């Protein structure tokens, strides 16, 4: 059995997502839920069909509210500790789908304060730079400027802190310790921070002056924060936010390596020159055999193959095409080099497009970003 660990600040090992649902006490995304969404909006995103978003809390309740004519707002975020990589973009793509199909407002939080109190070496000025750089990536996703607010904790502290202390007053150290594994050596900034991450779940209600349902699309590692948010929500007069939670995009270096900003080859960053990104894909870990001859004979292993995972998760929406590729790999018809090139083309194309939109985003900051 492989051990794994998932907290908001550490994701390690070969993650057993079924087990994580049990550990965290969330619910799996069922076929029934997927069909219900299809019935409501007509279109089901591949992330749902393929259970990339695999876990939820109260999504059924949220859909019932929607069916009764009660719209919901979206809340997601990003910790600006480095450049954006494809793993970060994954939930944003889904968030855009939700905004487009359900017509939701979106509150996008940049947790610059968290990244400062957590980091051993980043200065506030460096974090400010990443806040700006990450903002460009968020805008480049194509969110509706009429319905989207992007804000950083430090730049909106006056608006957020007043609500954060209302959360903080309801959370004991004991709870924070149990949820996050804090100990005596944890700094008091990190202990407090979860209060700031709770606030955007309440901002739609605060703005509207009435209870507004909220859905938080995010990677599963953020669940501990929102357990606290959900615990305090009703005490403060709000609905508990619903959650829909994704898997992680694996490291390009394979299952034993962690995708991280400090190891540039493990991930594709949105600011990577497309040619460099191509090289990363061509050097990625696959499920292929040592020699071409062996692979022709035995076939490859798509289940451990980074290339296949990137196609499955992000770059091949066509189910038939993907299935054919898988079968050709298993039977030894397809060689890794071809798959790599196939993905590399798609990655290059994505980055070229994204980087164009990212440039344009520089002139759109004021359409999206709010500040005290």
Residue ranges that bind its own copies, judged by CB under 8 A: 113, 116-117, 124, 153-158, 160-162, 164-166, 168-174, 176-177, 182-192, 194-195, 372
Min. distance of Cβ 131 from its own copies in angstroms?
12
Specify the residue, 90 or 127, whose C-beta has the smaller distance to its own copies.
Answer: 127
Phi, psi of 347 (to 5 degrees): -65, -45
SS3 of 257-271: CCCECCEHHHCCECC
Specify the residue, 189 or 337, whose C-beta has the smaller distance to its own copies.
Answer: 189
Min. distance of Cβ 75 from its own copies in angstroms?
20
Min. distance of Cβ 116 from its own copies in angstroms?
6
Min. distance of Cβ 241 from its own copies in angstroms?
19
The CA distance from 187 to 14, in Å, is 29
Specify the residue, 2 or 184, whose C-beta has the smaller distance to its own copies.
Answer: 184
Specify the residue, 175 or 338, whose C-beta has the smaller distance to its own copies.
Answer: 175
The CA distance from 359 to 353, in Å, is 10
The CA distance from 285 to 266, in Å, is 10
The CA distance from 73 to 205, in Å, is 9
Specify the residue, 7 or 301, whose C-beta has the smaller distance to its own copies.
Answer: 7
Phi, psi of 242 (to 5 degrees): -85, 155
Using an 8 Å Cβ cutoff, are 212 and 239 in contact? yes
Min. distance of Cβ 83 from its own copies in angstroms?
22
Phi, psi of 124 (to 5 degrees): -60, -35
The CA distance from 132 to 247, in Å, is 26
Specify the residue, 164 or 220, whose C-beta has the smaller distance to its own copies.
Answer: 164
Q: What sign does the CA torsion over 192, 193, 198, 202 have?
A: positive
Min. distance of Cβ 12 from its own copies in angstroms?
24
* 196-to-77, 118, 162, 287 alpha-carbon distances in Å: 12, 14, 10, 42
Min. distance of Cβ 172 from its own copies in angstroms?
5
Specify the residue, 176 or 220, whose C-beta has the smaller distance to its own copies.
Answer: 176
Min. distance of Cβ 81 from its own copies in angstroms?
14
Specify the residue, 4 or 161, whose C-beta has the smaller distance to its own copies.
Answer: 161
Using an 8 Å Cβ cutoff, are 128 and 362 in contact? no
Min. distance of Cβ 202 from its own copies in angstroms?
14
Using an 8 Å Cβ cutoff, are 56 and 222 in contact? no
Bridging pattern class, strands 10-13 and 27-28: unpaired
Specify the residue, 171 or 220, whose C-beta has the smaller distance to its own copies.
Answer: 171
* 311-to-58, 217, 319 alpha-carbon distances in Å: 30, 21, 10
Specify the residue, 34 or 122, whose C-beta has the smaller distance to its own copies.
Answer: 122
The CA distance from 215 to 105, in Å, is 10
* Residue 108 β-bridge partners: 76, 150
* 277-to-24, 139, 140, 233 alpha-carbon distances in Å: 35, 21, 18, 43
Min. distance of Cβ 207 from its own copies in angstroms?
17
């Amino acid at each position: 059995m492989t051990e794994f660990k998932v907290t908001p600040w550490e994701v390690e090992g070969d993650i057993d997502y079924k087990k994580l649902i049990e550990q965290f006490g969330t619910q799996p995304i069922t076929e029934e839920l997927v069909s219900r969404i299809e019935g409501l909006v007509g279109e089901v995103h591949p992330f749902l069909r393929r259970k990339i978003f695999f876990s939820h809390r109260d999504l059924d309740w949220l859909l019932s509210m929607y069916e009764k004519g009660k719209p919901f707002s979206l809340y997601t975020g990003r910790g600006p500790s480095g450049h954006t990589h494809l793993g970060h973009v994954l939930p944003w793509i889904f968030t855009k789908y939700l905004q487009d199909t359900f017509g939701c407002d979106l509150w996008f939080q940049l947790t610059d304060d968290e990244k400062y109190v957590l980091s051993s070496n980043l200065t506030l000025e460096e974090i400010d730079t990443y806040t700006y750089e990450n903002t460009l990536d968020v805008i480049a996703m194509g969110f509706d400027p009429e319905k989207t607010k992007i804000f950083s904790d430090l730049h909106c502290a006056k608006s957020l802190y007043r609500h954060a202390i209302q959360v903080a007053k309801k959370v004991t150290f004991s709870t924070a310790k149990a949820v996050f594994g804090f100990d005596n050596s944890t700094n008091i900034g990190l202990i407090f921070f979860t209060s700031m991450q709770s606030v955007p779940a309440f901002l739609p209600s605060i703005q509207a002056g009435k209870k507004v349902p909220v859905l938080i699309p995010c990677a599963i590692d953020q669940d501990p924060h929102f357990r606290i948010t959900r615990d305090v929500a009703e005490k403060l007069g709000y609905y508990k936010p619903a959650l829909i939670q994704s898997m992680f995009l694996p490291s390009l270096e394979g299952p034993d390596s962690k995708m991280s900003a400090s190891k540039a080859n493990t991930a594709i960053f949105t600011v990577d020159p497309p040619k460099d990104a191509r090289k990363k894909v061509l050097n990625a870990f696959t499920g292929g055999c040592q020699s071409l001859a062996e692979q022709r004979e035995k076939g490859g292993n798509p289940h451990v193959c980074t290339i296949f995972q990137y196609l499955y998760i992000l770059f091949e929406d066509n189910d038939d095409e993907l299935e054919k590729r898988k079968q050709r790999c298993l039977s030894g018809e397809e060689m890794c080099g071809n798959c790599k090139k196939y993905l590399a083309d798609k990655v290059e194309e994505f980055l070229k497009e994204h980087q164009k939109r990212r440039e344009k985003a520089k002139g759109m900051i004021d359409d999206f970003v709010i500040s005290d």
